[in-house]
Structure 1
């Protein structure tokens, strides 16, 4: 039997007060931190110079805070913005505790507000409070995010690829 995988929530699926524990956690590596820091041209030595970082109050390199923001925002996509029309922005972004290489970050989001778009009848606006938490239980990132999400039946279709042979082939039946 063929099943469609998770396609994300549409505007009508959200309920104020619902909390989503995002399914994927991530252990941050030295390579993640160095790559992201250099890719974004962040030249702060505290992110990639172990000798320099050892002289700070932290004693070791800090993970680039925008990496943490990107990671936690990414973790929320499957629950919050899989069917996004547009990201409207983040507010109240805070980083109450540092993140280090080797930390594992998980996240969750709570739906704060829903409203119809005044200019686009095919989307609604969803506002969520999201927090990233590391393995110690410390909150490392907090933000509020607003996104325009498609209503069911609107937006681009998800075309499933077909193949000449195999489970996605056009003529496949239960017996084949």
Structure 2
């Protein structure tokens, strides 16, 4: 890409920090984060995920079989719903995690069908310092997923180890996940 501006022209370009995720210090017990972006589950999502994970239960991919069950249609693979809800929560919960330590107390409360739109939120249940690692702490959240009718479809406890802000050095030129020197690098005058 070329820049047609003269090297002598003043530039009003500036790098501005975007969302850099929460650090350990940002979490408070009782806080609830409604994660952005609902996601509609498609038939393709379900069929691909079922095939990728070798889930051979015909409830997920055999329409005549599923039609004769209590649900009357195919169900979305529950592990896809887990993966989707966890993925939705990353922006708020684990963007700055160094490890996911556990997923506990997983419950499927209602079935998910093709065409359902899933929304997720997380509530901070606890947080604690680590004696063995001064650069991070442990945060436990309850992740809840709902469909478009506000039916609770999934809940689980999620426990990541999250970095502390003082041990990171994000900047507008090098936000989390970017290698140093990639992309626009404006100098300060």
TM-score, normalised via structure 2 length = 0.84
The correspondence of residues 15-164 of structure 1 with structure 2, limited to 5 A, is: 15-154=28-167, 158=176, 159=179, 162-163=182-183
Report the secondary structure of 1:46's partner residue: coil
When residues 2 and 96 of structure 1 are mapped into structure 2, their CA distance, relative to the original with a 3 A threshold, is same
Change (3 A) 1:171 1:124: closer
Stretches of structure 1 lacking an aligned partner (at least 5 in a row): none
What root-mean-square deviation, in Å, do the aligned CA atoms of Structure 1 and Structure 2 show? 1.8
- Give the CA deviation at 1:153: 3.1
Paired residues in the alignment total 169
Q: With structure 1 as the length reference, what TM-score do the two structures score?
A: 0.90
Counterpart-to-counterpart distance in 2, 1:141 and 1:160? 39
Shift of 1:171: 5.7
Decide which structure has the larger Cα Rg and report it: 2
How much does 1:156 deviate? 8.0
| Contact 1:130/1:143, CA 8 A, preserved across alignment | yes
| Structure 2 unaligned residues grouped into runs of 5+ | 1-13, 171-175
Residue 123 of structure 2: SS of its match in structure 1? Answer: strand
Which contiguous aligned blocks of 4+ residues in structure 1 show a shift greater than 2 angstroms? 153-163, 169-173
